[in-house]
Amino acid sequence: MTRFALNQATTKYWPLPDLAAGCVAAGVTQVGLWREDIQAFGVARSAALMREHGLTVTSLCRSGFFQEDGWFDENRRAIDEAAAVGAPVLLLVSGGLPAGSRDIDGARAHVGEAIGELVPHARQAGVKLAIEALHPMYASDRCVVSTLSQALDLAAPHPAEAVGVALDTYHLWWDDTVWAQIERAGRAGRIACFQVADWVTPLPAGVLLGRGLPGTGCVELRRFREAVDAAGYEGPIEVEVFDEKLWARPGEEILADAMAGVRDHVL
Amino acid sequence: MTRFALNQATTKYWPLPDLAAGCVAAGVTQVGLWREDIQAFGVARSAALMREHGLTVTSLCRSGFFQEDGWFDENRRAIDEAAAVGAPVLLLVSGGLPAGSRDIDGARAHVGEAIGELVPHARQAGVKLAIEALHPMYASDRCVVSTLSQALDLAAPHPAEAVGVALDTYHLWWDDTVWAQIERAGRAGRIACFQVADWVTPLPAGVLLGRGLPGTGCVELRRFREAVDAAGYEGPIEVEVFDEKLWARPGEEILADAMAGVRDHVL
């Protein structure tokens, strides 16, 4: 369980000081943070809180959204926040198609160019950019990067210490090519983040909030963990679940169930 | 517009006699039918109605669902219905994971075996089985076949005159490998059905009913049509849209808009 990490989104309504104390009480040492939450609490204050509790920040979610005006400055700010809070990895969700556009190839090409423009600042800040493929159901409005293969293609032109990929089981589980792509990611030294969530059937209304804790759905979570391990990944296993019903429960309970889910269904 | 075909699901609440007369009035000669509708109207009666109006049946939707008990007999019945109504093609939606299963590879392998068991009856009946890849968001509960590549892999062991694939733009548009797979499908003589629907953003609640008429969304419909043409496909272009708001309108209006959508955004 030393690899377990709690992503803050899983306990959305747990105030950060309570989350920090709760992690310490549960023996959890690693936390993934979210930009809006650390902005609300204060970035420097969040960093201090993590330090005081001996917590390691595994990742910062998230930036990207390269189809939006001002993406360059916004992503530079996100890189600075990641550095300030001690997150070695910043997750990038590419954004969807520009309004009225049908040019998904063009949108993907733009993502590649945009990441290239961010690399110098990311290297300077010591933050690795992690391109995340989101499930194809988000291709039009949130993320034109839909497969691990595409994420790796986009990362390829850049140095592996600056640009990697984030693997989230919820987004990738349906893809029969993902196992070969995980090997490819490992060979290229690109696996920067590994997040686990389960796919619950049927999808609740509002496809954004349809994830379940490990073990509640149909994803071969252990197979994914074994595949990333075999590919040489030794980093955190981060539980990131969006689910209104889960969020309504006390943070300590969610954390306990997330840990049990990883112990019983991922490790 | 001679290639235009109306899939019955697009005008869900249009009674079949009205649909037949409406197609004739609009100069439409091709119709794709649904099993539950022709069962309700009577299979022989549906066939007679089509004949009397000079309408060609392009396809019958749908069978498959190989994870269910009784799939063998049910699919044989579907093949018989397709033959009875004069549909040269029966669409197969594979079904999802068995309850409680996490074995998606196993489910896909079972689909391949099941189709093999149906091939003799399909050949005897003169009905081509068309494996349809559904969008990955349906992988757990409706269709473990999520990409054209997977559909072609499943079709490959069988003769091309017995087993092909159905291409639906709504399900495939996000996939950057689809263009190469359309070429592959054409080379193998496997394109048995081409259906067009647009992807509307945001997805309405209930992901099953999120399709739009051609031109209302972000899919490169013309690129798809040109790709299937270049792959040697000369068959119908069938409009199949599921949308409660659309269904609430008079059948004649839906048909007119579907025709305009194909004329302006597909041809």
Cα–Cα distance between B213 and A48 in angstroms, integer?
A: 54
Are A102 and B140 inside 8 Å of each other by CB? no
Min Cα separation A112/chain B (Å): 15
A261 shares contact with chain B (CB less than 8 Å)? no
In angstroms, the Cα distances linking B182 to B134, B226, B252 are 15, 10, 33
Q: Map out the domains of chain B as residue ranges.
A: 4-265
What are phi and psi for residue B262, nearest 5 degrees?
-70, -45
Are A207 and B206 inside 8 Å of each other by CB? no
The continuous run of DSSP H or E covering B48 comes out as helix B43-52
Name the token pair of A159: 């140095």
Cα–Cα distance between B107 and B145 in angstroms, integer?
A: 9
Q: Is the pLDDT of residue B210 over 80?
A: no
A25 shares contact with chain B (CB less than 8 Å)? no
What topology is assigned to A28-195+220-233+260-265 in CATH?
TIM Barrel (3.20.20)
Cα–Cα distance between B60 and B83 in angstroms, integer?
A: 9
Q: Mean pLDDT over residues B155-177, rounded? A: 98
Neighbours of A221 (CB within 10 A): 25
What are phi and psi for residue A243, nearest 5 degrees?
-165, 115
Q: Mean pLDDT over residues A194-223, rounded? A: 87
Q: Is the pLDDT of residue B197 over 80?
A: yes
Are A105 and B205 inside 8 Å of each other by CB? no
| pLDDT band of A93, cuts 50, 70, 90 | very high
pLDDT recorded at residue A25? 98
Q: Please list the helix, strand and coil fractions of chain B in percent, rounded to the nearest 5, in that order.
A: 45, 20, 35
pLDDT recorded at residue A208? 65
Closest to B241 in 3D by CA, of B14, B73, B16: B14
DSSP state of B61: E
Residue at token pair 């959204």: A65
Cα–Cα distance between B38 and B45 in angstroms, integer?
A: 8
pLDDT recorded at residue B205? 61
Beta strand pairing status for A198-199 and A211-212? antiparallel
Are A97 and B218 inside 8 Å of each other by CB? yes
Q: Is the pLDDT of residue A150 over 90?
A: yes
Contacts of B96 in chain A (CB under 8 A): 201
DSSP state of B223: H
Specify the CATH number of the domain B4-265.
Answer: 3.20.20.150
Are A201 and B105 inside 8 Å of each other by CB? no
Closest to A140 (Cβ–Cβ): which among B176, B201, B207?
B201
CB A49 within 8 A of CB A20: yes
pLDDT recorded at residue A152? 98
Query: pTM for the full model?
Result: 0.96
pLDDT recorded at residue A203? 74
Q: Give the pLDDT confidence of B219-256 residue by residue, as tens digits.
A: 999 999 999 999 999 999 999 999 989 999 999 999 99
A137 shares contact with chain B (CB less than 8 Å)? yes
Contacts of B217 in chain A (CB under 8 A): 140
Q: Is the pLDDT of residue A204 over 80?
A: no
CB B87 within 8 A of CB B52: no
**% of chain B exceeding 90 in pLDDT:** 95
What are phi and psi for residue A12, nearest 5 degrees?
-55, -40
Cα–Cα distance between A163 and A161 in angstroms, integer?
A: 6
pLDDT recorded at residue A202? 78
pLDDT recorded at residue A207? 62
Min Cα separation A59/chain B (Å): 27
pLDDT recorded at residue A146? 98
Average pLDDT, chain A: 96
Contacts of A108 in chain B (CB under 8 A): 176
The three state secondary structure string of chain A is CCCEEEEHHHHCCCCHHHHHHHHHHHCCCEEEEEHHHHHHHCHHHHHHHHHHCCCEEEEEEEEECCCCCCHHHHHHHHHHHHHHHCCCEEEEECECCCCCCCCHHHHHHHHHHHHHHHHHHHHHHCCEEEEECCCHHHCCCCECCCCHHHHHHHHCCCCCCCEEEEEEHHHHCCCCCHHHHHHHHHHCCCEEEEEECEECCCCCCCHHHCEECCCCCCCCHHHHHHHHHHCCCCCCEEECCCCHHHHCCCHHHHHHHHHHHHHHHCC
Q: Give the pLDDT confidence of A97-116 residue by residue, as tens digits.
A: 999 999 999 999 999 999 99
Q: Mean pLDDT over residues A22-42, rounded? A: 98
Q: Is the pLDDT of residue B208 over 70?
A: no
pLDDT recorded at residue B201? 86
| pLDDT band of A82, cuts 50, 70, 90 | very high
A206 shares contact with chain B (CB less than 8 Å)? yes
B141 shares contact with chain A (CB less than 8 Å)? yes
pLDDT recorded at residue B202? 78
| pLDDT band of A266, cuts 50, 70, 90 | very high
pLDDT recorded at residue B207? 61
**Contact residues for A261 (Cβ-Cβ < 8 A; gap 6+):** A198, A213, A214, A215, A216, A239
pLDDT recorded at residue B206? 60
Q: Mean pLDDT over residues A6-21, rounded? A: 98
CB A145 within 8 A of CB A134: yes
Q: Which residue has the higher pLDDT, A210 or A185?
A: A185
B84 alpha-carbon distance from chain centroid: 18
Closest to A140 in 3D by CA, of B218, B160, B223: B218
Q: Most A CBs within 10 Å: which of B101, B135, B201, B221, as the mutation test of the A interface?
A: B201
DSSP state of B69: T
Name the token pair of B37: 């509708």
Q: Is the pLDDT of residue B74 over 70?
A: yes
Cα–Cα distance between A118 and A3 in angstroms, integer?
A: 29
**% of chain B exceeding 70 in pLDDT:** 98
pLDDT recorded at residue A12? 97
Q: Which residue has the higher pLDDT, A69 or B201?
A: A69
Q: Give the pLDDT confidence of B89-144 residue by residue, as tens digits.
A: 999 999 999 999 999 999 999 999 999 999 999 999 999 999 999 999 999 999 99
Q: Mean pLDDT over residues B74-96, rounded? A: 98
Angle A265-A200-B166 (CA atoms, 0-180°, nearest 5)?
115
Is B73 buried (19+), middle (13-18) or exposed (0-12) by CB count in 10 A?
Answer: exposed
Min Cα separation B129/chain A (Å): 23
